[in-house]
Amino acid sequence: MKNKYIDLVEQTFDFPQDEFRVEEGNLFFNDIDMMDIIEKYGTPLKITYLPKISSQIQRAKRMFKVAMAKADYRGDFHYCYCTKSSQFAFVLHEALKNDIHLETSSAYDLDLILALAKDGSVKKEDAIVVCNGFKRPRYIQNIAAMRNDGWEHIVPVLDNKNEFEDLAELITEDTDLGIRIASEEEPNFDFYTSRLGIRYSDIMHFYKNNIAKRPNFHMKMLHFFINTGIRDTSYYWNELSKCVNLYCDLKAVCPELDSLNIGGGLPIKTSLAQDFDYEYMVEEIINQIKIICNSHGVEEPHIYTEFGSFTVGEAGATIFKILDIKQQNDRERWYMIDNSFMTSMPDTWGLNQRFILLPINKWNDEYQRVFLGGLTCDSQDFYNAEFHANAIFLPTIRNRRESLYIGFFHTGAYQEAISGFGGIKHCLQPSPKHILINRDEDGKLITSVFSEEQSSESMLKILGYYK
Ligand SMILES: Cc1ncc(COP(=O)(O)O)c(C=O)c1O
């Protein structure tokens, strides 16, 4: 009878796959015996497999090069890494081996780039730094300081109109500029138009009445990113086409415009059942842009991307041990992990995000349906479904002495920042100043500062930039 866990996987998916195979009941990930790592380091464990970062960047570059050659596309391709997906020094150092550029989302991100310049990983003469995000004064000041200090290829992308005034007050050098288009959200989303960027109907007017009047600013880039990422859906193609049409209209009044930034969103596998046809998507994007531009008699733009998850997601894995089993009623059997979903894989809780879940050992044992429970007190700290099935099956264990280890794979993007690894934050937004308020015996208020706003030095230290 075919009732082992390995039979279940072989009957459900094409298996083995490039990254995953099984030998003597144990899982190998990128040809690494995961049990060896567990025996050496114990659990719970986060893993980053660094070579995957470079191979993903090279893969994307290759795909765009081939697509552009096939379409006889005349623009260049620029791969930017979006730092927010993982800001660790070890990630940036690996990514920067591949002749890439960078995209930032907050003030401290620019401090991070200065740290990379200091250690020689980034050269200010060559590096294109695309500055996205809503800009607080400190972010504006950092952009201006870098531009005035010779970072010629720093490109602030306006998220709102006021930012332009703020930048113009501080920057006297010739500076390239971008505008982010506020895209329409998917029809089933909570609101119609993204809060990020400037609305379509305002862009032309804003360019003519503001940017065009400041000769040291050169409107070079139109930026477009949609929440759902790059998908073969009519929604995506429709948004892309609107954006390229706007590019062509704007180009007619702004000949300096020469770049289209299509953001991030290249998907990664969250289940062994998925198999993305990346080549088709990339070729179709390039074709669409070319066709629309040609129909307007406009030269094709240089293409920028900001792939975060695609760059670093598949390099990551999160490993747990099953500590014990709890049978809470006839049908609900819990495997308790030795950590927490909420704190180590927060997207599973906040976004119902699924990842590839596989046992590390016991592939030759029978399997059973289980619920996975985390160790926090929160009833939401659980994981009970996969991308392809509304249930979880894992090798059967009957008591806690049977050591079962499980891995969540492709967890390398966003999880550390959102869960606050060591005190970092999503998009490096600092912890606010914290004050304490009390009253003395007469009822008079007494206030004191418990902690100042978090500094960039403290974050960069956590991320591995300073000792
Ligand atoms: C402006 C921008 N660029 C790039 C990205 C990266 O997206 P992904 O990690 O899906 O590639 C994001 C994600 O939020 C974004 O907002």
Q: Taking all residues of the chain, what is their mean pLDDT, rounded to a whole number?
A: 96
**CA-to-CA distance for 94 and 384, rounded, in angstroms?**
34
Ligand 1 atom at minimal distance to the Cα of residue 311? 11
Around Cβ 211, how many Cβ atoms within 10 Å? 21
Predicted pLDDT of residue 182: 92
* pLDDT score of 1 more than 80: no
pLDDT in tens, 134-160: 999 999 999 999 999 999 999 999 999
Residue 185: the pLDDT is 82
Residue nearest to atom 4 of ligand 1 (CA): 264
Q: Tell which residue, 198, 148, 196, 197, has the closest CA to residue 169.
A: 148
What is the CA(294)–ligand 1 centre distance, in A? Answer: 28
Q: What is the distance between the alpha carbons of residues 410 and 408, in angstroms, rounded to a whole number?
A: 7
CA of 218 to the centre of ligand 1 (A): 24
> For the chain, what percent of residues have pLDDT higher than 90?
94
> Nearest C-alpha to atom 10 of ligand 1 is from which residue?
265
* Amino acid 191: pLDDT: 79
Residues 18-40 have pLDDT tens digits of 999 999 999 999 999 999 999 99
Give the binding-site residues of ligand 1, using a 6 Å CB cut-off.
82, 85, 103, 132, 225, 229, 263-266, 306-310, 413
Name the token pair of 331. 């049908």
Span from the CA of 81 to the centroid of ligand 1 (angstroms): 9
Contact 132, 223 (CB under 8 A): yes
Whether 186 shows a pLDDT value over 90: the answer reads no
Q: Which atom of ligand 1 is nearest to the CA of 133?
A: 1
Residue 181 Cα, ligand 1 centroid: separation in angstroms? 14
Task: Write down all domains in the chain, each with its CATH number in brackets.
Answer: 5-42+314-412 (2.40.37.10), 51-308 (3.20.20.10)
pLDDT of residue 371: 98
* Percent over 70 (pLDDT), the chain: 100
Expressed in angstroms and rounded, the spacing between residue 265 Cα and the centre of ligand 1 is 6
- Which residue has its alpha carbon closest to ligand 1 atom 7? 264
Read off the pLDDT of residues 325-336 as tens digits, 9 standing for 90 and up. 999 999 999 999
46-66: pLDDT as tens digits: 999 999 999 999 999 999 999
- Which residue(s) pair with 222 in the sheet? 179, 260
| Residues paired with 449 in a beta bridge | 435
pLDDT given at position 189: 82
Q: Would you state the pLDDT for residue 316?
A: 98
Q: Which whole number is the average pLDDT over 345-370?
A: 97
Distance 106 CA to ligand 1 centre (A): 13
Please say whether the beta carbons of 5 and 395 come within 8 A: yes
What's the pLDDT tens digit per position in 247-267?
999 999 999 999 999 999 999
User: Is pLDDT at 351 greater than 90 in this prediction?
Assistant: yes
pLDDT of amino acid 228: 87
